Structure 1
Amino acid sequence: MIKKYLKYQVPNVILLLLVTPAVFSQNIPARKIKKMFEKSEILNEHFTGFSLFDQDKDKMVFEQNGSKHFIPASNTKTYTFYTALEMLGDSIPALKYITKSDSLIFWGTGDPTLAYSTFKSNKVLDFLKKSDKKLFFVATNYKGNFYGAGWNYDDYLEDFQPEMTAFPVEGNTAKVYKNEAGGVTVKPPFLQSYFKVDPNFSSEYYFIKRDFYTNQFTYPSKIDKTGYLQEIPFKTSPELTISLLEEKINKDITLLDIPLPKDFRIIYSEKTDDVLRKMMMVSDNFIAEQLLLVCASTLSNDLSTNTIIDYSKANFMKEFANDITWVDGSGLSRYNLFTPNSSIALLKKIGIKVNDEERLHSLFPAGGVSGTLKRAYKTDNDKPFVWAKTGTLTNVYNQCGYIITRKGKKLIYSFMNNNFTKTTDEIRAEMARIITEIHNKY
């Protein structure tokens, strides 16, 4: 009887032994992820949140403070990114216009790309140049302050904080170079006359100052630094926008104030993916803020950050809209508050919307390869395994994105760190260590 019993049972035991490792290998044990955090002296010194989601199993693997609120910094751009995915087509609407008798009247849409960064499209400038009509610009459709809610006004000279407008030109920023004569050359050239030497202005480090309220730029009489370049946001106004456009197209433009008729037409500029990629790769605040205005332009002619955020939350983020406080497009504001779990939910939606892994990965910085993650991670056999958006402010460093493990598991993560006193480099390195360990082991 014993032999008979074994005869029929041994194959089942063998089968169980063969199957069990495969079954268990499909799960990532939460207790082991938890131990990684418990053993981290660096992460235990401040407020840390972490959520890890298994896409294949459609379930949360582990969370620590996943429902707690954190200042997201530039993780906010993923919310702007998703809003743009939902609301914009394959190209950026750049200008609305009508023709009336001998006049061409146009309105801005917030498009950030005109003569900015690496964008090359001249469709808007060519359109205005080629017109045989009198040009009129309506500048009253931007509904907001020149800065976002909660922005640091002390940073008005920093290139990461240009002002917002309906029709930005050259990123609303002046680029200042040292010239051969020892002075400065300014781009756009129209602004050159606003720069004056101040003999009483001396500083240990050479830099150019601008009056907060005006475009009065001053600089020391001597520039020692070779290859000097400074980018400084200029003070925007409808009149200055017109002057900068007139310089580029060599035609007169007149300010006008009329409502947008229903029969308007649209000129498009850059490919939407190219603009989104630029925003995500270098964490461009200006593009992020202006993209929300571009999204608003698809609803009405009023360009309002508040309106488009409310619309996006109500229409695209219903499941977690009550769990987030979202006030700007870039994350410059410390009023923004998101949870690791809300970012996981958002990243799931982004993946579904894009529905193409190669395209999705191309739009995010890749660890060890590109953007803000180029130096944060090493590749695995020359291949990246993490694609994520970073977020950095003083005492804040976060990442949220996608991981593919050595065993092929597809994970989503949100890793948030607030109120630390160590350097950002130390926090970044510890985060990379943990994410790399998850990649290697699972």
Structure 2
Amino acid sequence: MGEILDKPCVTLQFSTMNHRKILIPTLSLLFVFLALWTAGSGVEAAANIAPSATPPPPRQRVIVTEPTPGPSPTVTPTPSPTPATQVQTLASLQAKIRGRMLSANVARGRVGIKILSLNSGKVIFENDPEKYFTPASNMKNFTVATAFERLGPNFRFETKAFANALPDSSGTINGDLRIYGGGDVSVSTAFYLGDYYKGVDALVDELVKAGVKKISGSLVGDLSYFSGGEIPETWEWDDLQWYYGAGISALPINDNAVDVKVSPTRSGQPCDVRILPRTSVFTVNNTCTTGGSSSSLSITKSLDRNILTVGGQIPAGATAWQGSIAVTQPADVFLALLKERLIARGIAVGGDTRILPPSVTAPTTQTPIATLQSPPFSVIAAKTMKPSQNMYTETILWTLGEQKRRNGGAAVSGNSSVVGISVVRDFLTKQVGIPRDSVIQYDGSGMSRHDLVTPSAVAALYVYMAKTSKNAQAWRDSLAVGGVDGTLKRRFAGTAVSGNFRGKTGTLDQVSALSGYVRTAGGEELVVSILVNNVLSPGDRISMIDDIVVALANFNGKVDEQ
């Protein structure tokens, strides 16, 4: 995403030099004084001459000589006083924010702002704080904060293996091995330094510990933990083929996406198309050729099937295209990789892989064989919030729903997402005190264009999580740090905001958002929420937001004393 920088306003500053003190005999001093006085009178007179008058000829420079002096006494110069730093006023800060908000390049859009003191709650600045705005990924704030409070920072997702009986004396599972998914998103390259297989290998390790040496039947995926369609109903179709539009599964694998690389070969020859990790789940239709002087590469994935069509052309010697494509029915990839890794460890699998149909209920009498646990939720929250991972957030929302259903909420109707949204709403209204109609939620991540929030609601959540929540530090640790990591890594470099801001970004077409905590130069911590809608240029939106946050960080006054 490019940024458009405003033209800088250059201010020229001039300074005067202090006169040096020179000790001269009295007579010489008088002579110099008279000479300088006469010269000074000429300068002042020249300044008063009318423009049409002929200026007088310049006076000759007067050089004063004196007898060869004896040793001069040492003179200690008088130090120049250090100019006092001007303390900014709250009114000047507010004027600066308002001026930036009204800039011509964002004037046709809508800007919602809420800035307040975390200590006192005093409102520093606000604009349309109670109006609805599309939040984009600022919606993740509400989902993840609720999970901290309802699931807890130590909650762990689980993937379990079941069979009709424990392994026999030879280590054989007689029959199928059922893999019951619990939405563990940590079975992913994001948690294993980019390795496609180590997440699945962790489950293989648990099976080996359980004494499994052979599986006579098939690997059966059980996805019954979640209910509802793989894709949230209000997502837009043109997002769904890319990694950020990946669907939800009880058996997620590598962020429910595959990496694709398309490279040119020799002129006139087909392009080279590779999918990682290698899997038989994907079918590739490759009509791309190498040649021409410009690229016309096209990549299309069927929305409901793992069929990838690669067309167009790439010039010979051009840089390869690389991207990540969403996977339909990720559990198929999970099971395929699991079978491959079991065999690599010497564990034979007699059957194939398949998904248990939703209409079929697994036997309740089966024996648990092994369990793979995720890292604590606090770790997953940071992997969700900092890079703004959509699929993780949706999985967290669905987990909120299913945990409620399984812990005293059996009477609640609706699929996993619907129940999860009700859990978020209950937390926001009863614990945070946010008005029920100030957050309109259709998904967990903010990919839905139907989501609506107010700047006041976002700010209130941040105040609650910092001052009331027992998970305040874990919450802060999950947020991106300005100029350091996540979606803020390339913003605020070289400013007072770098390393000083923690918060959450948000981006959709014509939408940018930023909410979080920033400490002023005066030592006070502020809560800020800025939501920008209907501004076409991402650079215009982001530069305005960043300018305001930098102004807050540079403020050296005291907001709570004015």
Normalising by the residue count of structure 2, what TM-score does the alignment of the two structures yield? 0.66
- Structure of larger gyration radius: 2
For residues 124-153 of structure 1, the C-alpha deviation after alignment (integer angstroms, 9 at most, x for no partner) is 342245552665432233312221132110
Give the CA deviation at 1:217.
1.6
- Alignment partner, residue 434 of structure 1: 548
Which of 354, 361, 374 matches 1:258? 361
| Aligned mates of 2:273, 2:331 — CA distance in 1 | 26
- Please say if 1:284 is aligned against 2:357: no
Q: How does 1:27-426 map to 2 (within 5 A)?
A: 29=90, 32-33=93-94, 36-38=97-99, 40-41=102-103, 42-86=105-149, 87-98=151-162, 100-102=164-166, 105-119=178-192, 121=199, 122-128=201-207, 130-131=209-210, 132=212, 136-178=220-262, 183-191=272-280, 194-198=283-287, 204-220=295-311, 224=315, 225-236=318-329, 239=332, 241-250=334-343, 251=349, 252=351, 253=353, 255-256=355-356, 257-258=360-361, 261=364, 267-300=372-405, 304-318=416-430, 319-320=433-434, 321-351=436-466, 352-353=468-469, 359-380=474-495, 383-421=498-536, 423-426=537-540
SS in 2 for 1:400: strand
RMSD over aligned Cα, in angstroms? Answer: 3.3
User: Post-superposition shift, 1:314?
Assistant: 1.1
What letter matches 1:197 in structure 2? N
Residue 334 of structure 1 and its aligned partner are, at CA, apart by: 0.7
Contact 1:162/1:173 (8 A) holds in 2: yes
The 8 Å contact of residues 110 and 303 in structure 1, kept in 2 or not, is answered as no
Contact 2:279–2:333, Cα closer than 8 Å, also in 1: no
What amino acid does structure 2 have at the position aligned with 1:440?
A: N
Are the aligned partners of 1:175 and 1:229 in contact in 2 as well (CA < 8 Å)?
Answer: yes
Per-residue deviation at 1:392? 0.7
Quote how far apart the aligned CAs of 1:337 are.
0.4
Cα distance in structure 1, aligned partners of 2:188 and 2:180: 17
C-alpha distance in 1, partners of 2:469/2:423? 18
CA contact (8 A) 1:183 1:223 kept: no
Q: 1:194 to 1:174 in 2, by over 3 A?
A: same
Instruction: Assess, with a 3 A threshold, how the Cα gap between structure 1 residues 114 and 43 changes in structure 2: closer, same or farther.
Output: same
Is 75-84 or 260-269 further displaced after alignment? 260-269
User: 1:294 aligns to what SS in structure 2?
Assistant: helix
Greater Cα offset, 369-378 or 295-304: 295-304
Question: What SS is found at the alignment partner of 1:127?
Answer: helix
Instruction: Give distance in 1, aligned partners of 2:300 and 2:96.
Output: 50
Residues 1:162 and 1:28: Cα distance change in structure 2 (over 3 Å): farther
Q: Assess, with a 3 A threshold, how the Cα gap between structure 1 residues 221 and 152 changes in structure 2: closer, same or farther.
A: closer
Give distance in 1, aligned partners of 2:244 and 2:399: 19
- AA matched with 1:269: S
Structure 1 residues 376, 177: closer, same or farther in 2, change over 3 A? same
The separation in 2 between residues aligned to 1:410 and 1:348, in whole angstroms, is 11
| 1:17-58: CA deviation from partner (whole Å, max 9, x where unpaired) | xxxxxxxx9x97368425521453244332111001211113
Q: How does 1:3-22 map to 2 (within 5 A)?
A: none
Residues 1:113 and 1:74: Cα distance change in structure 2 (over 3 Å)? same
| Bigger mean CA offset, 319-328 vs 329-338 | 319-328
- Native 8 Å contact 1:123 1:268 kept in 2: no
How much does 1:343 deviate? 0.5
Shift of 1:158: 1.8
Partners of 1:104 and 1:227 in 2: CA distance: 41
Shift of 1:415: 0.4
**Contact 1:164/1:289 (8 A) holds in 2:** yes
Deviates more, 1:325-334 or 1:82-91: 82-91
CA distance in 1, matches of 2:492, 2:547: 8
Residues 288, 355 of structure 1: alpha-carbon distance in 2 compared, 3 angstrom cutoff:
closer
* Percent of aligned positions that are identical: 23
Quote the Cα distance in structure 2 between the aligned partners of 1:167 and 1:193: 17
Matches of 1:308 and 1:201 in 2, distance apart? 49
Higher mean alpha-carbon deviation, 53-62 vs 242-251, is at 242-251
Report SS of the residue matched to 1:195. strand
Mapped partners of 1:260, 1:348: distance in 2: 47
Greater Cα shift, 65-74 or 52-61: 52-61
1:394 Cα deviation from its structure 2 partner:
0.8
Higher helix share: 1
* Secondary structure in structure 1 of the residue aligned to 2:418: helix
Aligned-pair CA distance for 1:344: 0.9
Secondary structure class of the residue paired with 1:438: helix
1:259-286: per-residue Cα shift (whole Å, max 9, x none)? 5859979531223233221222221112
Give the alignment's TM-score, normalised by structure 1. Answer: 0.82
Q: Give the direction of change, closer, same or farther, for the CA distance of 1:191–1:35 in structure 2 (3 Å limit).
A: same
C-alpha distance in 2, partners of 1:303/1:128?
A: 32
